[in-house]
Amino acid sequence: MRPIVPAHRNDVAVDWLTARVAKYLGCAPATVDPAVPLAELGLDSVSAVNLCGEIEFEWDIDVDPTVVFDYPTIRELGAYIIAEAADRTGYAA
């Protein structure tokens, strides 16, 4: 699991997600707006499922593929990841 400095927890997750989504979209991370829903960015369902697998591997948390609908933006999904990782490790998010 990736170590997280408390003051930068959400930034770490958002930056990581932005890079991963950019890879799936074939664009530069700087062009991906973390406040725009993933579907509006053009992330298809196959890529969303693959992203969930990457989240599980990178952050050592269980993720249901529907999480991208429950937390549709990179920012929301990043906050979810940090909360779940903190819950799993016993640290406050």
Domain segments of the chain as ranges = 6-89
**What's the pTM?**
0.85
- Whose structure tokens read 């640290």? 91
CA distance 35 to 50: 21
What local confidence, expressed as pLDDT, does residue 10 receive?
A: 77
Contacts of 33 (CB under 8 A, 6+ apart): 41
Q: How far is residue 74's CA from residue 67's CA, in Å, rounded to a whole number? A: 11
Q: Which tens digit of pLDDT belongs to each residue from 31-66?
A: 999 999 999 999 999 999 999 999 999 999 999 999
Q: Which CATH superfamily is domain 6-89 in?
A: ACP-like (1.10.1200.10)
Give the model's pLDDT for residue 90: 60
Q: How far apart are CA 6 and CA 75, in angstroms?
A: 17
